[in-house]
A and B are shown apart, each in its own frame.
Chain A
Amino acid sequence: MTAVEFKDYYEIMGVARDASADEIKRAYRRLARKFHPDVSKEKDAEARFKEVGEAYEVLRDPEKRAAYDQLGRRPSGEEFRPPPNWNFEFEGEERPGEHSDFFDQLFGGLGGLRGGGRAGRGAFRSRGFDTHAQVDITLDEAFHGTTRTLSLQRVERKDGKLEPRVQQLQVKIPAGVVDGQQIRVPAQGEPGTGGEAAGDLFLQLKLLPHPFFRVEGRDVWLDLPVTPWEAALGETVRVPTLAGKVDLKIPRGSQTDRQLRLKERGLPGKPPGDQFVVLKIVVPTADGAEREALYKQMADKMAMNPRAAMEGGR
């Protein structure tokens, strides 16, 4: 057997080696909430969730846990080979790629592969599992569309043996996708057994943050810094949009937070999104005698009370 990296399942779950079944279950619940890819904001949530799931799978099962405990305590990541007398047969559904090499060597893995099937169905003929992956795309790619080459881990039968293989798959992502949307790639999940169809591959699109655009559905929001005179006098300014810069006429007498709509300048679709521009008035500093004099002149000649609505309050 080839060497694999040792995994300390107790350390992964943050429990003592003599933790009770209840303690292990509580630790799992807490970690699942933290790292579940659907709810987590952690960066490596999916990898951590798998790692925690694998640790729980071993530690929750008294038979597997006892076998694991026999190995003794070793540093995480240490080169590991199962002892020569290691001969455990475990029942249960195996899914290739779900477990670490360490787990596969100890508890079956490829050798014990029974060919998948949907969880809990237990039939010899069954459709392959669906697989899920996340694809990060920039806002620019969402606007123009893009192509991605994915590397998929496959398991292939060769001379009666199951062998891992990497398959490259080119996938076109159309223009106008939104955050969280999925792309279904039919029959590119795991193969079925007994002549049944393969599962599907689902790609969940994650829109990466943009330095100045925010996105809501297909609408794009932009905070636009403007000078007091541009806002007061109403001038035309150049504004970035996903398709390039456009001229925007600021209405005379605009205040900060005024929203202006650039119709159908958001992400493409049916209907296309809009771009909303939110004016943010930026006040010049009063550095230097000349500027200070100008401000004092404004205070004299353009006296105003912006807090009039609060008068009479406490």
Chain B
Amino acid sequence: MKDPIDVHLLDETVEFSLADLCRICGVHERLVVDIVEEGVVEPRGEVGAWRFTGVAVTRVQRVIRLQEEFEVNLAGAALALELLEEIERLRRGGR
């Protein structure tokens, strides 16, 4: 078997531009702006030079999936995402 292939861990140390984020998530910039305005992800840097962490990629993908597959608006999907994360935290025995 070949050597392990190159992978990118999407953690808080990696950063993506708005264009990168859009490409990775397969969405239009306008939708990302709406998601930022909804407070789902917090970009670093000034408007026009936004940078998003790897964790933001996962949150953007999740909120879009929730929005599309349950046909709710962005505010509803954002609320669902936050409640889900809270449940996951509680289930792990967090405090």
Question: A212-243 interface mask toward B, CB cutoff 8 Å, 1 = contact, 0 = none?
Answer: 00111000010000000000000000000000
Given contacts A169-B5, A181-B10, A185-B7, whether A215 and B92 have CB atoms under 8 Å apart is: yes
Total number of residue pairs linking A and B with CB closer than 8 Å? 87
Given contacts A182-B58, A183-B9, A216-B89, whether A172 and B4 have CB atoms under 8 Å apart is: yes
Which residues of B in the span 45-83 have a Cβ within 8 Å of any Cβ on A?
54-55, 57-58, 61-62, 65-66, 69-70, 80
Q: Give min CB distance, A298 to chain B, whole Å.
A: 32
Does the CB pair A179–B95 fall under 8 Å?
Answer: no
Question: B1-33 interface mask toward A, CB cutoff 8 Å, 1 = contact, 0 = none?
Answer: 111111111110100000000001010000000
- Cβ of B88 under 8 Å from chain A: yes
Q: Give min CB distance, A135 to chain B, whole Å.
A: 11
Q: Give min CB distance, B32 to chain A, whole Å.
A: 16
Q: Give min CB distance, B8 to chain A, whole Å.
A: 4
Query: Chain A interface: which size bin?
Result: 35 or more
Does the CB pair B69–A32 fall under 8 Å?
Answer: yes
- Cβ of A77 under 8 Å from chain B: no
Which residue of B4, B10, B61 is within 8 Å of A171 (Cβ)? B4
Which residues of A in the span 1-38 have a Cβ within 8 Å of any Cβ on B?
29, 32-33, 36, 38
Q: Could you say which residues of chain B place their CB within 8 Å of the CB of A215?
A: 92
Does the CB pair B26–A38 fall under 8 Å?
Answer: no
Q: Which residue of A lies closest to B4 (CB)?
A: A172
Q: Could you say which residues of chain A place their CB within 8 Å of the CB of B91?
A: 41
Q: Could you say which residues of chain B place their CB within 8 Å of the CB of A178?
A: 11
Q: Give min CB distance, A266 to chain B, whole Å.
A: 13
- Cβ of B36 under 8 Å from chain A: no
